[in-house]
Amino acid sequence: MFLKVLGCGEAFSAGGRLHTSFLVEQDGFRLLLDCGPSVLVGLRRHGIDPMSLDAVVISHLHGDHFGGLPFLDRFYHAFGRSRPLVVWGPPLLRERFELAMGAFFPGSVERRYELELHSYARSFSVGGLEALALPVDHDELTNPHGLRIGPLAFSGDTRWTSTLLELAEGASVFLCECGLAVPGKPKHCSLEELRRHRSLLRCKRLFLTHLGQDVLDLLPLPDFEVLEDGMEIQI
Ligand SMILES: [Zn+2]
Ligand SMILES: [Zn+2]
């Protein structure tokens, strides 16, 4: 499995990082893990043809994680995608996608390709990869989930929760959000909590992502690997 970081920024693009979108490739199957509004920037910046994507998996329904879907959809419509696009996301994916479409591209109801929107339950399969979606502790209205796709684990956005231990168990790579330096009001995981629980996370490699400005200000970290836009990881 191959991972390319298109964007690993948080909602406010601290550090000039693009919104969260990871390109995951296995056996020629290409999926996007989260689809931030800057996804087309990320793909084109690295010379990746947006048409080459087979599927998208969304962790939760905050704009910085799914807001790129309307742009991808209009791109595929405008440039004549010839095959279906499969999108997996939490319950309410279709409803929120249609709201976003109506707001961003009013009246654009024609679609010259097939868009398959699916809501996941606990386990599902995408491109032959076994996937797991576990509810995490973030803004409830966004239906937040952490995801496991084959050997890759991703926290999504969440406060520290023991569910992260389950997600990370046996993973080759775990991408864990770290939105804050110390625990605070926003529903994000803090560096302080990750340090405290690091030894319990049983994954081979752990990378921090979705860094808030206060965490970016502490880089480089002596004890954690941190994602960068454009980074490539062999899994
Ligand atoms: Zn986010
Ligand atoms: Zn979020």
Domain that includes residue 56, residue range: 2-227
Q: How far is the CA of 20 from the centre of ligand 1 (A)?
A: 7
Phi, psi dihedral angles at 66 (to 5 degrees): -125, 0
Residue 235 falls within a domain, yes or no?
no
- Centre of ligand 1 from the C-alpha of residue 75, in Å: 23
Is 233 inside any structural domain?
no
How many Å lie between the centroid of ligand 2 and the Cα of residue 10?
Answer: 8
User: pTM of whole model > 0.95?
Assistant: yes
For residue 232, is it within any domain?
no
115 C-alpha vs ligand 2 centroid, how far in Å? 24
Tell me the C-alpha distance between 158 and 89, whole Å. 16
Indicate the residue type of 34.
D
Q: How many domains does the chain have?
A: 1
Choose among 28, 234, 47: nearest CA to 129. 28
Q: In this structure, is residue 16 part of a structural domain?
A: yes
Domain for residue 111, yes or no?
Answer: yes
**Dist. CA 66 → ligand 2 center (Å):** 10
Q: Is residue 187 part of a domain?
A: yes
* CATH number for 200: 3.60.15.10
Q: Which ligand gives the minimal distance to the CA of 143?
A: 2
Is residue 7 within 8 Å of 36, Cβ to Cβ?
yes
- pLDDT value at residue 185: 84
Asked if residue 234 belongs to a domain, the reply is no
The CA distance from 78 to 24, in Å, is 25
User: What pLDDT digit, counting tens, does each position of 148-162 carry?
Assistant: 999 999 999 999 999
Could you tell me the pLDDT band of residue 232, with boundaries at 50, 70 and 90?
A: very high
- Single-letter code of the amino acid located at 1: M
Distance 58 CA to ligand 1 centre (A): 11
Q: Within a domain: residue 63?
A: yes
